[in-house]
Amino acid sequence: IVAGGGRIDKPILKAGRSYHKFKAKRKSWPKVRGVAMNPVDHPFGGGNHQHIGKPSTVSRYAPPGRKVCLF
């Protein structure tokens, strides 16, 4: 029998527990979508409603700041 078996079966339920779970793991939580950001923060940000507003696939020859989302 493995110690801690069934631990992942219990739901997290609260944002605070998820915060403490990911606290030591760099910037992996919370995951904020690009369309939910402001235009200064992400190329998909801004606008009066949440839409990408430009092709989401990126050119192979785009500069590094433009290479976001799907390839």
For 25-58, what is each residue's pLDDT tens digit? 888 889 999 999 999 998 889 999 999 988 888 8
* Residue 42 one-letter amino acid: H
The answer on pLDDT for 68 being more than 90 is no
> Burial letters for 17-51: b for 16+ Cβ neighbours within 10 Å, e otherwise?
eeeeeeeeeeeeeeeeeebeeeeeebbbbeeeeee
pTM equals 0.68
Domains of the chain as residue ranges with CATH: 12-71 (4.10.950.10)
CA 32 to chain centre: 4
Instruction: Determine phi and psi for 70, rounding to 5 degrees.
Output: -75, 150
